[in-house]
Amino acid sequence: MTVVSTEPEAAVAVPAERPRLRLSPGAGRGLLGWALPAVTLLAWEGLARAGAISANVLPAPSAVLAAGWELALSGELARHIAASSGRALAGFAIGGGAGFAFGLANGLSARSRALTDTSLQMLRNIPHLALIPLVILWFGIGEEAKIFLVALGVFFPIYVNTLLGIQGTDPQLVEMGRIYGMGPRALFVRVILPGALPAIFTGLRYGLGIMWLTLIVAETIAAKSGLGYMAMQAREFMQLDVVVLSILIYAALGKLADSLARGLESATLSWHPAFQRPAATGRRAR
Amino acid sequence: MAFDSSSAPAFTLHGVRRSFGAKRVLDGVDLSVPQGQFLAIVGKSGCGKSTLLRLLAGLDRPDAGRIEIGRSGDGAGQAPGTRIMFQEPRLLPWERVEDNVAVGLTGIATGPEARARARAYLAEVGLSDRAGDWPAVLSGGQRQRVALARALVGQPGILALDEPLGALDALTRIEMQRLLERIWREKGFTAVLVTHDVAEAVVLADRVVVLEEGRIALDLAIDLPRPRRHGSAEAAALEQTILDRLLGRDG
Ligand SMILES: Nc1ncnc2c1ncn2[C@@H]1O[C@H](COP(=O)(O)OP(=O)(O)OP(=O)(O)O)[C@@H](O)[C@H]1O
Ligand SMILES: [Mg+2]
């Protein structure tokens, strides 16, 4: 990997150029990102109230909010969210764990790679959602079916990126570690794994996206609980507000997962020039 | 005087050979280097300088011949024999400067002791105030100084340097040469410097050897008083002798 040096002086100079702005530049940019959604939401509400958008096509945000409030009071909403999140996490833990383990094994051992990589690359070409009919035949519409699909979907991005990360290890750094007497354990912990982390995080975030996507499809087709089931029930009774609500909750959960991953990423990769905020690049003696 | 040429050898090469495929890179190198000497190795690109250093540092084995590393007399016991420094600093980007230096104490010291020793060597190379920084924010010369501190913190008997200043600009190079000379005089290790720069060899070394066609073609003592300056008349004459040899003109 190449590490591009950043000029601390130049980076620190940015906030100084804008003394009138009371918010830190990071917070300003964060707020700016919310401006467009807020405007969209207001416009949507306005158009719905003015009757420009029929309630049969798209209910107003306030109607969606009201439906959400009702479902929340009855406890129904929490039950569905818990069911969906449980499946997501279980599938992610299984598929992500296996992908990580295979990625490590195949990155570190040529023998393991020779044994399993070709087979895994072949399986990767099967779209996992194409397996839904088969999975329903195998597992019925129980929990296993959905967890299996999520795990399968999450496995490949994590496997491929972990493998890439480990294979991208700088051989000069490994040689350096050996010269200084690092054993295999120390080499892995101090040289190989940290170098692979940026790629692993890419896989993690990609896997989280696939996790929600798989779950949405699986729950809409075959489930007795969860957000997808809630949406399909609502569709039967023409409760458009609940349908929209479940879509929005899916989006929020996806965003939450991605934000958590990003937070973890920037905390772990603070050494990486791409993650160094201006304030963090100054000299800092411990 | 920084070293006594009558002292015990730091290392000795006896008829060392190394081939890669059909190409014989080192073809019987004999060389004995007394403890504390500053040796410079020059030679055309591809003549086997790096190969020789890697053999010395134990990163490679000779096909024939022997390499004897002298035991340093005091019973320090754990001190590593040889450390090698490359043209690239090879710092761990994800560890802070201080922890990078402490890599040089792997298996020698840990915890607060390692930290204290790492800091002492950072001070030695003039980077005490950068102990908590990431390598990415340092300049090329500063990174190379961190690599020097890491190589020396374990107090090796021999420091092998493979064009460590090759990637630096002219001014930083001269600064680094001064730093290297000062630390070498202070610590008394044996230095083996591979360089393309004949002037650098003459300003730093007690002895310059020219490697050619797998053998030592010239072995020249540099008896100039220290500290030396670039461009003195005696240095220029010695440089000319070495250059003539390198360019194949018999002088
Ligand atoms: N591991 C290797 N496998 C095959 N050939 C090698 C290997 N290492 C070195 N060589 C060859 O040995 C010769 C000497 O290489 P070496 O790196 O020692 O040269 P050098 O004197 O350090 O050159 P430079 O000044 O350009 O660094 C070259 O022809 C090189 O191609
Ligand atoms: Mg070389």
pLDDT per position as a tens digit, A198-256: 999 999 999 999 999 999 898 888 788 999 999 999 999 989 999 999 999 999 999 99
Q: What is the pLDDT of residues B176-233, one digit of tens each?
A: 999 999 999 999 999 999 999 999 999 999 999 999 999 999 999 999 998 888 888 9
Instruction: Compute the count of residue pairs across chains A and B with CB atoms less than 8 Å apart.
Output: 73
Cα–Cα distance between B217 and B105 in angstroms, integer?
Answer: 37
Provide the residue type at A247 as one letter. I
Neighbours of ion ligand 2 (CB under 5 A): B 50
The pLDDT of residue B3:
52
Residues of A with CB under 8 A from a CB of B: 1, 3-6, 8, 172-173, 175-177, 179-182, 186, 190-191, 194-195, 197, 269-273, 276, 281, 283-286
Domain ranges of chain A: 1-53, 60-280
Distance of CA B18 to the CA centre of its chain: 21
Contact across the interface for A272 and B136, Cβ inside 8 Å:
yes
Q: Which atom of ligand 1 is nearest to the CA of B43?
A: 21
Residue A77 in this model has a pLDDT that exceeds 90:
yes
Reported as a single tens digit per residue, the pLDDT across A137-184 is 998 888 899 999 999 999 999 999 999 999 999 999 999 999 999 999
SS (H, E, C) B170-208: HHHHHHHHHHHHHHHHHHCCEEEEECCCHHHHHHHCCEE
Expressed in angstroms, the distance from the first to the final Cα of chain A is 27
Virtual CA dihedral for B8, B10, B16, B20, nearest 10 degrees?
A: 180
pLDDT at A86 over 50: yes
Q: Which fold has domain A60-280?
A: MetI-like fold (1.10.3720)
- Checking if the pLDDT of A282 tops 70, the result is no
CA B51–ligand 2 middle distance (angstroms): 7
| Ligand 2: centre distance to CA A193 (Å) | 29
Give the pairing type, strands B158-162 and B82-85: parallel
Residue nearest to atom 1 of ligand 1 (CA): B20
Note whether B131 contacts A179, CB cutoff 8 Å: no
Q: pLDDT grade, residue A277 (50/70/90)? A: low
Contact A177 B86 (CB under 8 A): no
DSSP line for B220-232: EE----SS--TT-
Q: Is the ipTM of this complex over 0.90?
A: no
pTM given for the model: 0.83
DSSP at A191: I
Q: What is the dihedral of CA A168, A172, A177, A178, to 10 degrees?
A: 110
